Amino acid sequence: MPDLRNNRDLIAGLLFIVLGGLAVVLARDYPFGTTMRMGPGYFPTVLGVILFLFGLYVLARGLRTGEKLKGEWGWKPLVLITLSIVLFGVLLDRAGMIPASVATLFVAAAAGREFRFKEVLILAVVMTAFSVAVFLWGLKLPYPLIGSHY
């Protein structure tokens, strides 16, 4: 039994199979129509089937060659960067531009290889001021500096 962990094409193939399969299954709710009069389900169903088949081929090739991923998965940057973006969306409406920007900058910076508190603090002050100037004053976007939107 070959080692299947981190088999590059196996994972890619599985991903395509899942996405293609999902596309076909969900498109069953949409009228298919005929080739002459295609319904809303026709195009996505055909795409889903094609993607599924590509997935099978890529998966089979992965099993045959057994090629591995290059490097490790970067869990820490992936989670922290994703979190920092989500935080911005959550905070902007509820707490205002300044808290949202500062929070995003701090969490994103924590994803880096080194985190120097003082440096990040200065970065947060400068970039927050800059984005307030560009987006709130320059482009006149209607977000509160601090406080709720509602």
Partner 1 sequence: MDLLSNLALGFGVAFSLQNLVYCFAGVALGTLIGVLPGVGPLVTIAMLFPITFHLPAIPAIIMLAGIFYGAQYGGSTTSILVNLPGETASAVTCIDGYQMARQGRAGPALATAALASFFAGCVGTLLIALAGPTLGEWALKFGAAEYTSLMLMALVASAVMTQGDALKGLAMVVVGLLIGVVGVDVNSGMARYSFGIPELVDGVGFTVVAVGLFAVAEIVLNLESREPREVYSGRVTGLMPTARDIKDAAWPTLRGTAVGACFGILPGTGPALSSFATYMLEKKIARDPSRFGRGAIEGVAAPEAANNASAQTAFIPMLTLGIPATATMALMLAALTLQGIATGPQVMLEKPDLFWGLIASMWIGNCLLVVLNLPLVGLWVKLLTVPYRWLFPSIILFCSIGNYSVNNNPFDVYLVALIGVLGYVLVKLECEPAPLLLGYVLGPLLEENLRRAMLIARGDPTVFFTRPISAVFMIATVLIFVIMVLPAARAMRRRT
Between residue 84 and residue 103, which ones bind partner 1 under the rule CB under 8 A?
84-86, 88-90, 92-93, 101
Interactions with partner 1, residue window 12-71 (CB under 8 A): 12, 15-16, 19-20, 23, 26-27, 30-31, 34-40, 42-44, 47-48, 50-51, 54-55, 57-58, 64-65, 69-71
**Residue holding tokens 């193939």?**
13
The least distance separating partner 1 from the CB of residue 75, rounded to whole angstroms, comes to 9
Task: Report, in Å, the least distance between residue 62 CB and partner 1.
Answer: 10
Find the shortest distance in angstroms from Cβ 14 to partner 1.
10
Residue 8 binding partner 1, by CB under 8 A: yes
Do residues 115 and 109 lie in contact, with contact meaning Cβ atoms separated by under 8 Å? yes
